[in-house]
Amino acid sequence: GRPWSNPEAQEDPAHLSKSRLRSDLVSHNVELPPAGSKKEVYLKLHLEHVDQGNAAGFSSDEDDQVLYAPGGDRVDTKIPDPTALSDKDLKDLLLKYGVKAGPIVASTRAVYEKKLRKLLQSDGNEGLNEAETAVLYSDSDEEGEENGDLEDEKESEEEKERINEALELNQKQCNEHLQEPVKNILKDLIPEAKTTPTGIYVTPRRPIKGAAQRPILYGYPDTPVSPTTLERRDVERRLVPIYVQILVFFIVLYILYFISINV
């Protein structure tokens, strides 16, 4: 029979809202009738253009899912067009994304379509099988969080590696940078002292601490460095360089002098 003689059919165009018919027409690139047109006009256009493909199937109730594939199949497709979904499918799909949709009626449909589109878009950027897991677990909120945690872990690991690399590079550069001036300072302080070939154990801070003999004491060339030494060196590297200390000292001296002559 004719489609509108079948009130039971879920996808019966006669039971769709006017705006729904209109959005269907738009999604099928059908030219819309003038704004004030009655629902019948939309319905006719809908039947002519949108339902052409499966017009024959409308005699049976079971075929009403032909035009709109069931939710499960929809999820597997790359990005389903929310406007092409039935109200029920739209609701199911939203539920799979953890959104408990209210009644989908003419005035709310557009809002939910937009919401779904947003969800689909944000989902497309994340994992590929999010949709699959969403099918298996209706509570996709937790799933998303878990995924997020995993990604976070991955990211933090990557970051650690990056930091380590950066540290190593920094260390090398600092070693190269420190060797020469340190040697010079040492030579100035203790001219007869033997300088180590590597210069590794000589740091700018030792002479200041008054342990003038230490560099020589610990000056075994090519000794493998213990982890604690490495750590200590790392810490020392972050301390203020000696020339900055001297500079600050002179600045303070100058300020004190300035104050003293002004009082």
Least Cβ distance, residue 175 to another protein (angstroms):
55
Quote the CA–CA distance of 5 and 7 in Å, as a whole number.
6
Q: Are 55 and 66 in contact (CB under 8 A)?
A: no
Closer residue to another protein (CB): 114 or 177: 114
Least Cβ distance, residue 141 to another protein (angstroms):
15
Closer residue to another protein (CB): 42 or 201: 42
Least Cβ distance, residue 181 to another protein (angstroms):
58
Least Cβ distance, residue 118 to another protein (angstroms):
9
Residue type for 134, please?
Answer: A
Least Cβ distance, residue 103 to another protein (angstroms):
6
Map tokens 């996709």 to a residue.
Answer: 140
Closer residue to another protein (CB): 96 or 109: 109
Closer residue to another protein (CB): 69 or 110: 110
Long-range interactions of 212-220: CB distance < 8 A, separation 24+ = 215/186, 219/194, 219/195
Give the residues lining the site for another protein (CB under 8 A). 100, 102-103, 105, 107-108, 110-112, 114-115
Q: Are 120 and 75 in contact (CB under 8 A)?
A: no
Q: Which two tokens stand for residue 181?
A: 């001036």
Closer residue to another protein (CB): 114 or 172: 114
Q: Which two tokens stand for residue 35?
A: 């704004």
Map tokens 């104050």 to a residue.
Answer: 259
